A and B are shown apart, each in its own frame.
Chain A
Amino acid sequence: AQKVTQAQTEISVVEKEDVTLDCVYETRDTTYYLFWYKQPPSGELVFLIRRNSFDEQNEISGRYSWNFQKSTSSFNFTITASQVVDSAVYFCALSGGGTSYGKLTFGQGTILTVHP
């Protein structure tokens, strides 16, 4: 069975602070995919990044960066110089490969509040 754990239920920071959202996953699959989604108050899940199990390169996209470590089964997400618009619920998710691809197992989510 697959499982995703986001231990941080809520995080509160002041604008311009850096913040890291933790994600730990469990799977027996050798091929799997990890995702981060953002859910603003409007409710729609917005895709941020996808990583496959064979690509451990860290990625940076503007103020966002992701650290994938298979050795610790973690896929952490860092926002640098946070902004008020980053306030949302962030979900880490896991999918198998093949026909299971796209069937996502989500973590419980981390509520991020960025104060001005």
Chain B
Amino acid sequence: DTGVSQDPRHKITKRGQNVTFRCDPISEHNRLYWYRQTLGQGPEFLTYFQNEAQLEKSRLLSDRFSAERPKGSFSTLEIQRTEQGDSAMYLCASSSEDSLNTEAFFGQGTRLTVV
């Protein structure tokens, strides 16, 4: 297993466009998390899944944001009608609840720039 994979690595989009990011977790991990990191700050929690169920969403996640994890495998994060304030690094992480609560492994992130 090569770890958590995110695609694309970079995305430049015009304000008002929709974007979708994909995260492929480590295969045996049943938990998947999305975080957002702006320049000079630590990552902020957005949402997380246990298998296919979305268990929690942060208040940071406006109605323009939606995340899915069909079949409990990969996940997508969609941002509709992007705004300049959405520019950030979007990080995905996965962990296994079964293995005595392992640490979360992070992907390399998708850097979004809204122009």
- Please report A residues at the B interface, Cβ cutoff 8 Å: 4, 33, 35, 37, 42-47, 50, 91, 93, 97, 99, 101-109
Contact = CB atoms under 8 A, between A and B. Distances in A.
Given A44-B106, A91-B43, A102-B101, 18 more contacts: A4-B42, A35-B103, A43-B89, A45-B93, A45-B106, A47-B106, A91-B42, A101-B95, A101-B101, A102-B33, A103-B45, A103-B56, A104-B33, A104-B43, A104-B104, A105-B45, A108-B40, A109-B40
A103 B93 CA distance: 10
Given A45-B106, A99-B55, A106 B48 contact: no
Q: Name the 8 nearest CB pairs between A and B, nearest first.
A: A106-B42, A45-B106, A44-B108, A47-B103, A102-B95, A50-B103, A101-B101, A43-B109
Nearest to A46: B106
A102 B48 contact: yes
Contacts of B22: none
B42 A44 contact: no
A101 B106 CA distance: 15
Nearest to A6: B42
A106 B33 contact: no
A44 B108 CA distance: 4
A43 B55 CA distance: 27
B91 interface: yes
Interface string B35-52: 100001111110010100
Interface in B77-115: 89, 91, 93, 95, 97, 101, 103-109, 111
A103 B48 contact: yes
A3 B111 CA distance: 25
5 contacts: A44-B106, A97-B101, A102-B48, A102-B95, A103-B45
Given A35-B103, A43-B109, A47-B104, A102 B42 contact: no
